[in-house]
Amino acid sequence: MQSNPYSEIPYEFSLESLSAPALYQSTPYIESGGDPSSPYAVAANRRRRHSIGVRRTSPEALLPLDAPTQARRYITPSSTSRKEIPAFFAKMRGPSPPSDEEEDELTEEPPASNATDQEKIEWKRRQNTLAARRSRKRKMQNVQRLEEAVERLTREKEIWRTRAMTLRQILHSHGIICPDFRD
């Protein structure tokens, strides 16, 4: 009978076991004299580059919705707005009604019907900026909620593990055979 090649692979991982130094260690293939210029070796030694942006750790650290929008001052022509009148403005459909979940706290009135094209474009960009800020805030709140759930579930798992091991020891002390769980 053949032994299972996967029997020694742990089936439970923790985030602590995936720390950055552990992720970038040399592979056994390279250490055993394998070709370090092979695609496998190059990929194994590739390091993750850090983003250049600013990390905000809480929704409160994000820009408030009422923060002013930065003026557009480009040295070269913008790749996102090369046209004088953007394509969305040419179609000019009416604004979609806000959902029940959205906060109506900083809704600006749409420009008057006699407003210039530039004013209408600026208003539309401002609405887009506000929507992006709300989206980033929702995303960060969701990530925080998930992180809190992971922490809570990890604590619960440890509590139940301790209880199971205690009960297992009690059974063993009373001479009752109990299966040995490998984890």
Q: What is the pLDDT of residue 43?
A: 53
CA angle 91, 94, 95 (to 5 degrees): 120
User: Does pTM top 0.85 for this prediction?
Assistant: no
Contacts 24+ apart (CB under 8 A), 62-66: 62/133, 62/136, 62/137, 62/140, 63/133, 65/105, 65/106, 65/130, 65/133, 65/134, 66/106
pLDDT higher for 101 or 110? 110
Using one digit for the tens of pLDDT, what is the confidence trace for 44-88?
555 555 566 556 677 777 877 777 777 777 777 666 655 566 666
